[in-house]
Amino acid sequence: QKEVEQDPGPLSVPEGAIVSLNCTYSNSAFQYFMWYRQYSRKGPELLMYTYSSGNKEDGRFTAQVDKSSKYISLFIRDSQPSDSATYLCAMIDSGNTGKLIFGQGTTLQVKP
């Protein structure tokens, strides 16, 4: 079993839809949670970074962390065709080695 599980999709939604992307994890030592967006043939870029349980909002993006359930989510409101990309969740443990453990990534397509 992988430390971080993420449904690879693909996920296809119409423009304007609310998108929900999720990851589950098994290691309770994970303390820092991130969402990266990766466009085709590009490097991952950080979207959201959270430390504790709860919600964090940035524009159309909301990251949610539930440590008790070992579950994190990313919500995208009013999705746009430019949001079409692969979304990767990533986590770092409290040992602070800096080793990011990634989910497999979910491919999202937003259709105009």
Partner 1 sequence: DTAVSQTPKYLVTQMGNDKSIKCEQNLGHDTMYWYKQDSKKFLKIMFSYNNKELIINETVPNRFSPKSPDKAHLNLHINSLELGDSAVYFCASSHVREGTQYFGPGTRLLVL
Sole binder of partner 1 in the list 14, 41, 59, 68 (CB under 8 A): 41
Among 49, 61, 70, 73, binds partner 1 (CB under 8 A): 49
Identify the residue whose tokens are 């008790």: 68
Is 97 a binding residue for partner 1 by CB under 8 A? The answer is yes
Size of the site for partner 1 (CB under 8 A): 25
Which residues are CB-neighbours of 25 under 8 A, at least 6 positions away?
3, 4, 5, 70, 71, 72, 91, 101
One of 22, 24, 38, 109 touching partner 1 (CB under 8 A): 38
- CA–CA gap between residue 31 and residue 29 (Å, rounded): 6
Q: Which of 7, 8, 28, 5 is nearest to 90 (CA)?
A: 5
Kindly tell me which residue out of 8, 10, 54, 81 binds partner 1, with binding defined by CB under 8 A.
Answer: 8
CA 104, CA 112: separation in Å to the nearest integer? 26
Q: Which residues form the interface with partner 1 (CB under 8 A)?
A: 8, 32, 34, 36, 38, 41-46, 49, 86, 88, 92, 96-102, 104-105, 107
